[in-house]
A and B are shown apart, each in its own frame.
Chain A
């Protein structure tokens, strides 16, 4: 993935978190993780998972739900999926 694609992916993840968690863009930092914001609680996390499924047309299983708990983890998951 080149720099341009990485930037696009980061922007997409930011937009996804803003929409799912109903937070501002400024709140989405690269090291943001589950539990860092009141909005990213159990219900918020599942909103993120469902929006991820919708946007990227993927089926996320229980094992994956438990691992996608940070911006970095979501980014790595999507990059890996693109390479698959």
Chain B
């Protein structure tokens, strides 16, 4: 497919600490953008377009792009980077992109953009990591929960998710209860060349549910509008999560549909913060045992353009989020495979989840992306089990 590029000067220079964030958001500027890059100096943007635009269209694309830059850059706060652990220099034997080998072995099968079926090797590795994360959950005597894949729109509305992450939502609907509409669909439904189903939009029921973007939200909603009788909760669950990331979706690094194991803490501020820290220390021992090269550093969630500047600055200022970033030696980069999060009393206040004294409950969670864990491990240790740390003997390959 031919590609057209358009390069222009940014209205505001994008500071180094924002280049990645701005670049990832440019994916959402227009459907014609196939790839967008911000120059390292932050003063030029190159758009790679799916079709040749006329002058008017170019002006429109540039105006929309500049709007993103302006919104994210003007008055941006430089994040305070705090590194809690740094084991990036841990010796590791592999330095190739595991995606290529995984595909060659038939271990991954792409169903659509950001959606992969996983074969026995990756599944066994995920099962192994799951066991280790469950050991962590057990060490806190976390109560097990199972949550649905669907989540009501009214839940996400209540915690302002639509304002914070509109770009990553995935909607679920069904055919309207209408015999004629269902009959018509059954007889005419077909996919176009690009895989899109040709169905008139009015055939669908109004959207009341979405595919869940996170695991812990379900627990907060289950405990909404009530007082926690014991004043604290520790729970764990694993679930499918969905975050649409457009052209940023890439191999097992960035999936649309992924699996997350969480250990969730609810209670007073000190209880949540103390347990988040204990969890980090316990996981530090696990990561040492499995030989992971990684760093734990402060981070922010990928808020959408309108809220990014303020929310990201707030998260950074109050050190609410720390990511476990595993080394990807083949690209001299790191990948977030998990995070230690504290939400203050955000969910407690918005969901009326209270402590026995009537004050809003504080919440926090420790979350691990299972596919990313497996991917990062293979990126560091490769495919020969003889090169793997002793802890992996039980994987059974």
What residues make up the interface of A, taking CB atoms closer than 8 Å to B?
A: 35, 38, 41-43, 45-47, 49-50, 53, 60-63, 65-66
Contact residue among B79, B314, B316 (Cβ-Cβ distance under 8 Å from A45): B314
State the CA gap A63–B349 with chains docked (Å): 25
Within 8 Å of chain A (Cβ to Cβ): is B80? Answer: yes
Among B307, B317, B344, B345, contact of A65 (Cβ-Cβ < 8 Å): B317
Q: Which residues of A contact B8 (CB under 8 A)?
A: none
Inter-chain pairs besides A42-B310, A43-B310, 16 sampled, C-beta below 8 Å: A41-B346, A42-B311, A43-B307, A43-B311, A46-B311, A46-B313, A50-B310, A61-B78, A61-B80, A62-B77, A62-B313, A62-B316, A63-B80, A63-B317, A66-B317, A66-B319
User: Is B2's beta carbon under 8 Å from chain A?
Assistant: no
Q: List 15 A-B contacts (CB under 8 A).
A: A35-B349, A41-B346, A41-B349, A42-B310, A42-B346, A43-B310, A45-B314, A49-B313, A50-B75, A61-B77, A61-B78, A62-B79, A62-B316, A63-B80, A65-B314
Contact of B4 with A by CB under 8 A:
no
Cβ-defined contact, B314 with A46, below 8 A: yes
Q: How far is the CA of A66 from the CA of B307 in the complex (A)?
A: 18
* B318 CB within 8 Å of chain A: yes
* Min CB–CB distance A52 → chain B (angstroms): 12
Closest to A35 in B: B345
The A interface is mostly helix, strand or loop, or mixed, namely: helix
Q: Which of A38, A42, A45, A65 contacts B77 (CB 8 A)?
A: A65
Q: Which residue of B lies closest to A66 (CB)?
A: B317
**A12 vs B316: C-alpha distance when bound (angstroms):** 27
Q: When chains A and B are docked, how far (Å) is the Cα of A75 from the Cα of B349?
A: 27
User: B313: which A residues are within 8 A, CB to CB?
Assistant: 46, 49, 62, 65
Q: Which of B79, B313, B349 has the most CB of A within 10 A?
A: B313
**Which residues from A are CB-within-8-Å of B307?**
43
Query: Which A residues are CB-close (under 8 A) to B345?
Result: 35
Q: Which residue of B lies closest to A59 (CB)?
A: B77
User: Which chain B residues lie closer than 8 Å to A66 at the CB level?
Assistant: 317-319
Is A62 a contact of B346 with CB atoms below 8 Å? no
* B360 CB to nearest chain A CB (Å): 8
Check if B78 sits within 8 Å of A62, measured CB to CB: yes
B77, closest chain A residue (CB): A62
Task: With both chains docked as a complex, state the minimum distance between the C-beta of A62 and any C-beta of chain B, in angstroms.
Answer: 4
Closest 8 CB pairs of A and B: A65-B317, A46-B310, A62-B80, A66-B317, A42-B314, A62-B317, A62-B316, A66-B318
A47 touches B80 (CB 8 A): no
Which residues of A lie under 8 Å from residue B316 when comparing CB positions? 62
- Least distance between B284 CB and chain A CB atoms (Å): 25
**Cβ contacts B291-317/A at 8 Å (1 or 0 each):** 000000000000000010111011111
B77 contacts across to A, CB distance below 8 A: 60-62, 65
Residues from chain B with Cβ under 8 Å of A47 in the complex: 310
Q: How far is the CA of A38 from the CA of B311 in the complex (A)?
A: 16
Cα A66 to Cα B311 in complex, Å, equals: 13
CB distance from A49 to the nearest CB of B (A): 8
What residues of B have a CB within 8 angstroms of the CB of A46 in the complex? Answer: 309-311, 313-314
Q: Which residues of A contact B79 (CB under 8 A)?
A: 62
| CB closest residue in chain B, given A64 | B317
* Neighbouring A residues of B344 by C-beta, 8 Å: 35, 42
Residues of B within 8 A of A38 (CB): 349
CA distance A42 to B347 in the complex (A): 12
List B contacts of A42 (CB < 8 A): 310-311, 314-315, 344, 346
How long is the Cα–Cα vector from A50 to B75 in the complex, in angstroms?
8
Give the distance in Å from the alpha carbon of A70 to the alpha carbon of B309 in the complex: 22
CA distance A5 to B272 in the complex (A): 42
CA distance A53 to B76 in the complex (A): 12
